[in-house]
Structure 1
């Protein structure tokens, strides 16, 4: 039987259902960004320019390479609760959906947080075969806290059938860095859950690489605001492929853009 090009293209979905894959590299099925520590409103910083830059960079990512969503991993504002509304208004200029976690400088109560963002400080969501868990690591006082282990255990169980889980916690649950805290129960949960692929952190502005514990990677994304940290301001990109592999790298938009590339595999 002879297929012309149009007929062959119609035949491809049937081949996929039978388990056949077309030759060539794996296809990209999701691409998202992780950024943290914008510190909107911090005195003596050019926080408006920092946010304008990041919004422009992420909108360019969407236009040029595709971007499904962004996650802002804590320290959205700098201490003053009334800044939260102005920040939300600023971030509406993004052309992609975004999700947020609470950091130690996001000193607002849970009711204000949920009223602003539409979900609690501990929340999760799924996209296709992957799940995303965003945990709270602080409170209205700005204390450094371990994530709620009981809640985390529940969420990990809820997504046990997913191909992969990505976890986002502003503060690192280990003392690998100057500003991390020791949370052995949380690390054990993450490291013993087979389909947890990676955990992402902000908070330590001077960290843009990775740590390994229990065979699981923990990633940092430097900062895009604030008054200290890496010499550049940037963000992290994560790409997921249809063969269950994934990659992540830190991105410096101003020079030598791709840093600390990591290639991961599914469960």
Structure 2
């Protein structure tokens, strides 16, 4: 039975959710009698680490299937324009064949949520697989790129490169050596220069810290983002916990991992609402925190 089959019978359970009130609070003021524009909604999940293997420590790999079902039910209600997975969709396996099975299993469920989907590469995604194998498995052409929706410009970054510029793949990397290579930085600067819309960035490894969870040349990446003057926020995963910082007017929001903890309450996913004024609302579910930022 798939997520789609299961959630049809449970649709009514979530009909009285509170997100409608939360998103209404960030809609821009309009003239009396005018209909306010609906905010652009984005469904976001991160760090599922799906694998058909026993739990290890606080990570319950098999349970991400049922946790993803809960997120799918919420997204079905809120109808996001697109959904984003911020990396580590799968956990590492001991063989390519096993890893591809993990990927096909979890993506079969994730792909039913929304046709407009975006995958950020996490270090576990390309620990056993090569990048082209992961991307081919989910039907995505590139590991870093940009796109436009609803008056906003969105950028997907790939920090899964070693310090020497080699891409992660086939157990050739150390997870603490994450970098955005020069060619990608040049592309990022040119992409931002050509854009006048407000910008939202999606990443896996953190761009706001210099510890083991951070991108080694994160300060250089931040300088490129800051120079554009248009970047509002960066949404990232990797460290598995809620965290938020503001650097030079840009919000860096780290979202909680779905894999952490056992049971329905130990889950995390969010719906991000962007209104026409540039205000941002993050409505978190279960362990995911809420945030509100004005433009």
- Band the TM-score falls in, shorter-chain normalisation: 0.7 to 0.9
Structure 2: gaps (5+ residues): 1-29, 94-98, 161-167
Q: CA 1:96–1:47 in structure 2 vs 1: closer, same or farther (change >3 Å)?
A: farther
Shift of 1:185: 1.1
Q: CA deviation at 1:181?
A: 3.5
Indicate the residue corresponding to 2:61 in structure 1: 47
TM-score when scaled to structure 2?
A: 0.71
Change (3 A) 1:157 1:26: farther
What CA deviation, in whole Å up to 9, does each residue of 1:51-110 have, x standing for no partner?
Answer: 3222332333332x3311111001111012322222221212314532111111112212
Alpha-carbon distance between aligned partners in 2 of 1:260 and 1:99, rounded to the nearest angstrom: 22
1:234 has 2:268 as partner: yes
Say if 1:174 and 1:182, in contact at 8 Å, map to a contact too: no
Would you say 1:201 and 2:236 are equivalent positions? yes
Residue pair 1:101, 1:121 contacting (<8 A) in 2 also: yes
Are the equivalent residues in 1 in contact too, given 2:272–2:281 (CA < 8 A)?
yes
CA contact (8 A) 2:49 2:91 kept: yes
Q: CA deviation at 1:114?
A: 3.0
Give the alignment partner of residue 203 of structure 2, picking from 165, 169, 180.
169
2:214 to 177, 180, 185: 180
User: Does 2:159 align with 1:130?
Assistant: no
Tell me how large the CA RMSD over aligned residues is: 2.7
Residue 27 of structure 1: CA displacement? 2.5
Partner of residue 150, structure 1: 183
The aligned counterpart of 1:88 is 107
User: Which residue is equivalent to 1:7?
Assistant: none
Flag structure 1 segments of 5+ consecutive residues without an equivalent: 1-20
Which structure shows the bigger proportion of residues in strand conformation? 1
The TM-score normalised by the length of structure 1 is 0.77
Alignment coverage as a number of residue pairs: 237
Aligned match of 1:104 in 123, 131, 148? 123
Residue pair 2:204, 2:237 contacting (<8 A) in 1 also:
yes
Shift of 1:196: 1.0
> What is the aligned partner in structure 2 of residue 249 from structure 1?
282
Q: Flag the 1:61–1:150 CA change in 2: closer, same or farther, 3 A.
A: same
Q: Distance in 1 between matches of 2:173 and 2:90?
A: 12
